[in-house]
Every structure is written in C-alpha cells, then in structure tokens.
Amino acid sequence: MQLSRVQLMTHRIVATHEHATMLMALSSGLTMEMSRDAGIMLENVEKYLASHPDGPFFSFGGAFEGTVEIYRQDIDAIIADRPFLMIAASGHGGWANTKALEAAGIVKDKTDPIDSFGREEDGTPDGYVASSAAVFYMIGALDLIKKEAVLEQADGVLRQMSKLGVTASYEVAQVPGTEEAMFSSVSELEQQGRLTVRMVCATMIQRPRHIEGALKALEKFGPIYSSELFNVNTLKVHGDGAFEGRTAGLLEPYSDAPDTRGLVSLDPEELSSSMLAAAEAGYNIHTHAIGDRTNRAMLDGMQAVREAGFKETRLS
C-alpha cells in the first residue's frame, strides 16, 4: 500500500527490515543515484575523488551487482594508489580496485577467505565482488565502518525516516566484527537525545565463520543495550544472496546460468544449531532467504526451534 503525504503524517510506521545504521556508516563516502550505467558510475567516482582527495575511499549505489561490468582495471585507471571499494546499491556485492583486493587478501594463488570473488582466467581477481558476505568482508577488511562517521551522518538519516513517518525500525544487518562500533554509536545517539526512532538491532551470521562471533556478540551486547529506544535482541541468519548476482539458493538451476543453483550459506546442522543457540539464550531469530531452496532450509531450522520447545522465540 502506498501512502500519501497526508497519510504519512498521520501514520506511525514500524519498518520491519531496514539498514539505517549501515546507511549512517556508508553515506560518509560517495553515494550514487541509480544509473545502471558503468560509465556514469566510474565518472562519478572520478569526480568524487577530485573533490575528496583524502576520501573516504568508497562509494555506494549506482547499480545492483551483476547488472553492470566493472573490473579492477577500470577503477585502477581512476585511483590505483589507494584501496577503493564500490558497493552495489543492494549491498549484495560490488567492485574493487587492485589495492583494495590486495589489502583484503584477495590475490592470485591464494584461497579466498570467503566467497564470492570474480577471477580472470589465470586466477587473478578481476574486481567483481559477487555476494553480500564478500562485500561485507571487504568493508571490514578495509576498516570502512567508523563511529565518527555514523554519529556525523545519523541526524540526516533519522530526519528522513521521521519525515516518512517511521517511528520504529528493525535494523537487520551489521558487518560482522563491527558490532561494537555500530551499537555504541546508536547508544550514544540515544544518550544525546538524538535517537528519534526506536531501533532493534541484530548480530548476523553470513557464513559458518561468523557463527561463533555473532553468538558471542549477541551474548555480550544484548544485556548492555536494552532500553526504551534501543535493543540488541536478535540473531540474523543470512541464508543466501540475491537474484541479481545469481546467489539466491534455488532448487533448480538458473535459466540464464544453468551451471549454478546459487548458494545456501549454512548446512542444515549449522543452521539449526545456530538458531537453537540463540533461542536458548533468549533471543529472537530473523532470516534472509530469497531462493526457494534457502526458504526450505530456513523453515526447517525454524521448525527445529519450535519442536525444541521455544514457543515464545520470535521467528521471521
């Protein structure tokens, strides 16, 4: 349902899937309107760097992953001496220059620390970052989440949310390993009287390597951040990717990419054990599942939680 401006003024909207905190962190760099044009995106990067020679050295927006062709050499031609990451508008992928790939350990003849990065025929990374897990890994490796940036950009983001009538927001994604910076930023906004939207935040599992850290972060920050306006009370299990990058997990192969069915990020045992651990600790569970194969896996995990007796755990 689309609301008119008058209706928005009289409605209180609870946004159940938002990334406002990520927007606060990432809007400090170059933000691009959707163009779906690689040339325009690269031109925007060039103009941005001419006026921001000291960075921040990343961009957000322009196109979804898998819909434009941008390679490391294209970004190198604009900036080769510093790492630069172009984050897709979906947050489910992006494009990186050579320095950024090297800084993150994505190099020839070395196993990638996480999927999914494009490769040239000889194994050299080509600059394409094909999944949200990969782009979030890059964001963490390049240390792009800065508390000072979150605090600086927060007022503009919150003001826009209030204009739309949003009074409460469920923040469903934090870059693994950056929880302390993000959560302490939101808490500081609350203490300063600047948090105009109630927020519920989650820690996130994207791949098996994140399970231990996400559960520990939830255990650490859940009791600390539990107030009228700000709560950390949910585990997000990120089950697959998105259709644009052919990373949503399907039962049948993609019609335009018959060699792949996408991915499901956790096997059934990892999925159910992670959900059960969160439920046992008293936290809610939220899932990302786009493809039909992934949805089946998530529903099986939710069923395991219910069958284990956790009737009050919120599952979404």
pLDDT of residue 18: 86
Q: Stretch 281-287: mean pLDDT, rounded?
A: 95
* Tens-digit pLDDT profile for residues 217-230: 999 999 999 999 99
pLDDT of residue 6: 44
Residue in the block written with tokens 């950390």 = 232
* Tens-digit pLDDT profile for residues 13-55: 888 888 899 999 998 999 999 999 999 999 999 999 999 999 9
Q: Check: CB of residue 185 under 8 Å from CB of residue 24.
A: yes
Percent of the chain residues topping a pLDDT of 70:
97
pLDDT of residue 227: 94
**Residue 191 phi, psi dihedral angles, 5° rounding:** -65, -30
Using CA atoms, how far residue 73 sits from 38, 42, 80, 124, 201, in Å, is 13, 11, 9, 12, 37
DSSP label at residue 116: -
* Tens-digit pLDDT profile for residues 242-264: 898 898 999 999 999 999 999 99
Q: Stretch 203-213: mean pLDDT, rounded?
A: 94
- 204 pLDDT exceeds 70? yes
Q: Which pLDDT band holds residue 5 (cuts at 50, 70, 90)?
A: very low
* Tens-digit pLDDT profile for residues 91-123: 999 999 999 999 999 999 999 988 889 999 999
d(CA 141, CA 105): 9
Question: Left (φ > 0), alpha (ψ -120 to 50) or beta: where does 127 sit?
Answer: left
List the structure tokens of 160.
Answer: 């826009």
Q: Which pLDDT band holds residue 11 (cuts at 50, 70, 90)?
A: low
- 1 pLDDT exceeds 60? no
Whole-prediction pTM: 0.86
Q: Across all residues in the chain, what is the average pLDDT?
A: 92
- Provide the 3-class DSSP secondary structure of residue 281: coil
* Tens-digit pLDDT profile for residues 119-164: 999 999 999 999 999 999 999 999 999 999 999 999 999 999 999 8
- Which amino acid is present at 10? T
Q: Check: CB of residue 271 under 8 Å from CB of residue 279.
A: no
- 10 pLDDT exceeds 60? no
